[in-house]
Amino acid sequence: MSLRQGAGLSGSALKWVAILTMFLDHLGATVVLELYLRQPTMVLYDCYYGLRTVGRVAFPIFCFLLVEGFFYTRDRKKYALRLGLFCLLAEIPFDLAIEKTVFYPQGQNVFFTLLLGFLAIWFSWELSRRLNLHPAAATALAAIPAVAGGELLMTDYAGFGVGLIAALFVGRSLVREPGMGRGMAQLLLGSTSILVYCVMENNDIEHWAVLGLVLALLYNGQRGRGNKWFFYLFYPIHLLLLAVVCMAMA
């Protein structure tokens, strides 16, 4: 039996993996980094680097689930509005935790990236359906302005993040039947996107993000149990708490 047909991880289980690894990533980027800057030691550096490495797993899983959500949501307009709402709700906690300031226009939280990616694949879907374009061609056309938007807004993961969402969407569109074939197509295109980014940016840590896509192969197509609002609210709340801890250390 294909993992997509029964066994494996539900969407909620994947979200929990993403949330845990994201929290560890942000713990390293805030509290552990603050400790290291105060007293640089190899132990703290290794802890920081290890947490950031584990954290690379989170974003690809969120991107994968966003693409799945696009196909399964009952109302894409509400989905986009929900992402937009949390763009605003999460911005101050993000700036406080990561940049130690209330307003930092040079960096926007990851919900901006997810929103741009969602709008790109939505536009791609409409182009493909109305103009009978190949999914890859339609996605390429739709992703260009969204990738540019990610770069101009300086969102978390920027244009690379939007491009990864587009790559996963193309992989899903190319293989219509659910199963390992579809997962492998997404893994191939997503991994290529990640590795090209690592080479272009000389990034020596982001390649670990491929592990997130490997975990996505275990997705069984089931939503699973979990309150969707918790998953949304966790992002700004945990950033705010980490910001408070860092301020208490000052």
Query: What pLDDT score does 250 carry?
Result: 78
Contact 58, 234 (CB under 8 A): no
Q: What is the rounded CA–CA span in Å between residue 9 and residue 219?
A: 5
In the numeric block, the tokens 């007293």 are attached to 39
In the numeric block, the tokens 């101050």 are attached to 92
* pTM to 2 decimal places: 0.95
Longest CA–CA span in the chain (Å) reads 60
Contact 133, 127 (CB under 8 A): yes
Q: What is the rounded CA–CA span in Å between residue 172 and residue 187?
A: 10
Range of the domain at 97: 3-249
Residues 9-26 have a mean pLDDT of 97
In the numeric block, the tokens 């845990």 are attached to 20
Contact 207, 199 (CB under 8 A): no
Note the pLDDT tens digit of each residue in 61-77. Answer: 999 999 999 999 999 99
Q: How far is CA 14 from CA 18, 141, 158, 173, 222, in A?
A: 6, 30, 23, 21, 11
DSSP E strands in the chain: the ranges are: none
Query: What pLDDT score does 1 carry?
Result: 30
The full DSSP string for 68-134 is HHHHH-S-HHHHHHHHHHHHHHHHHHHIIIIISSS--TT-B-HHHHHHHHHHHHHHHHHHHHHH---
Amino acid of residue 132: N
Note the pLDDT tens digit of each residue in 162-180. Answer: 999 999 999 999 988 888 8
Q: How many residues are there in the chain?
A: 250
CB atoms within 10 A of CB 16: 16
Number of domains the chain contains: 1
Q: What is the rounded CA–CA span in Å between residue 12 and residue 17?
A: 9
* Dihedral Cα 12, 174, 70, 166, nearest 10 deg: 100
In the numeric block, the tokens 């339609």 are attached to 138
Contact 141, 102 (CB under 8 A): no
Note the pLDDT tens digit of each residue in 103-161. Answer: 999 999 999 999 999 999 999 999 999 999 999 999 999 999 999 999 999 999 999 99
pLDDT band at 187 (very low <50, low <70, confident <90, very high): very high
